[in-house]
Amino acid sequence: MTRRAASVDVVDQKRDSSPAPKAIPRHLAIIMDGNGRWAKKRFMPRVEGHRNGAKTVRMVVEECRKLGVRHLTLFAFSTENWRRPEEEVGGLMRLFVQHLESELELLLKNGIRLRAMGDLSRLPAAVRELLERNEERTKDLTGMDLILAVSYGGRDELVHAFRKLGRAVKAGELDPETVTEELVSRSLYLPDVPDPDLLIRTSDETRISNFLLWQLAYAEIVVSPELWPDFSRDEFHRCLHVFAGRNRRFGLTQEQASAS
């Protein structure tokens, strides 16, 4: 009895410190949720939760780079989040400025290319300019794509894509009958980025909340109970192991999926 328990422990420890390569999604998307609740539990203003969440962002970025994730998309601010109290939105924008300034070094040192997706025209000029500066400074780096979804909504992205296609039809450059799923994918904000394999959402919420609606069609979803500022490296690895154990069939039968 005791021996069995001990051997299980050893396996678990080994699992947490070194996920098998097949546990690594090519594109990982994360809904970083629970900052407000983290702060509330401590009788702090919500923005303190966002400030503390920044540490988790750094850990996840460094870990993904080490593990060989090719694209990491972080949901940082949604089109709906603009409706939050002015104080919180302002605090978040100031945090974006601060971290876009201070983390450029981390990106350069680790060969990480920064990309932004969303309706950036709604952002304060200071945030937009720093995003553009960091995108420009890191555009030739090939270690990993770090994609920040800011002022982003999945429906908003689709509206932009449909307008683009509509303009091409109007200009006589596109026959509507030739519109395919592939063409819609190529009309999105980042046409070259493959769909996410895994979506992680923290804080026990089981919603998509208007994130990557088109791209998540066949993503595996793993929900972590941890609030984002508490989301640890071990918990991250646990999520990757859950993903590795999933059976992705893409609509096929088990036999077909195993054969392909």
Residues 6 or more apart in contact with residue 112 via CB below 8 angstroms: 61, 65, 106, 138, 141, 143, 144, 145, 146
* Residue 81 CB burial class (10 angstroms; 0-12, 13-18, ≥19): middle
What is the rounded CA–CA span in Å between residue 27 and residue 199? 9
Minimal distance in Å, beta carbon 22 to ligand IPE? 28
Q: Is 33 in the site for Mg ion (CB under 5 A)?
A: yes
Binding range to Mg ion, per CB under 5 A, among 6-14, 25-33, 96-104, 243-251: 25-33
- H or E element at residue 149: strand 144-152
Check 16, 81, 119, 210 and give the catalytic one: 81
DSSP element (H, E) containing 259: helix 254-259
- Compute how many residues bind ligand IPE; rule: CB under 6 A: 18
Regarding beta strands 198-201 and 27-31, do their DSSP bridges make them parallel or antiparallel, or are they unpaired? Answer: parallel
139 binds ligand IPE (CB under 6 A): no
For residue 81, indicate whether it is catalytic: yes
By CB under 6 A, tell whether 32 contacts ligand IPE.
Answer: yes
Tokens, residue 110: 């680790």
What is the rounded distance in angstroms from the CA atom of residue 73 to the CA atom of residue 231? 16
Query: Which of ligand IPE, Mg ion, none does residue 246 bind to, with CB < 5 to 8 Å depending on kind?
Result: none
The rounded distance, in Å, linking the Cα atoms of 215 and 236 is: 22
Contact pattern for ligand IPE over residues 49 through 88, marking x by CB under 6 A: --------------------------xxxx-xx-------
181-240 residues near ligand IPE, rule: CB under 6 A: 203, 205, 207, 209
31 binds ligand IPE, rule: CB under 6 A: yes
Q: How far is CA 23 from CA 16, 28, 195, 222, 245, in A?
A: 12, 11, 17, 13, 8
Please report how close the Cβ of residue 154 comes to ligand IPE at its closest, in angstroms. Answer: 11
Integer angstrom CA distances of residue 152 from 79, 156, 177, 189, 259: 5, 7, 29, 10, 38
Residue 86 or 105: the one with the smaller Cβ distance to Mg ion is 86
Which residue lies nearer to ligand IPE by CB, 31 or 117? 31
Token pair of 1, please? 């009895």
Query: Rounded to an integer, what distance in angstroms lies between the CA atom of residue 144 and that of residue 69?
Result: 7
| Active-site residue flag, 110 | no
Interacting span for Mg ion (CB under 5 A) from 33-41, 63-71, 90-98, 114-122: 33-41
Q: Which is nearer to Mg ion, 113 or 201 (CB)?
A: 201
> Binding to Mg ion by residue 197, rule CB under 5 A?
no
Q: Does residue 33 belong to the site contacting ligand IPE (CB under 6 A)?
A: yes
* Interaction site with Mg ion (CB under 5 A): 33
* Interaction site with ligand IPE (CB under 6 A): 31-37, 75-78, 80-81, 92, 203, 205, 207, 209
Catalytic residues: 33, 81
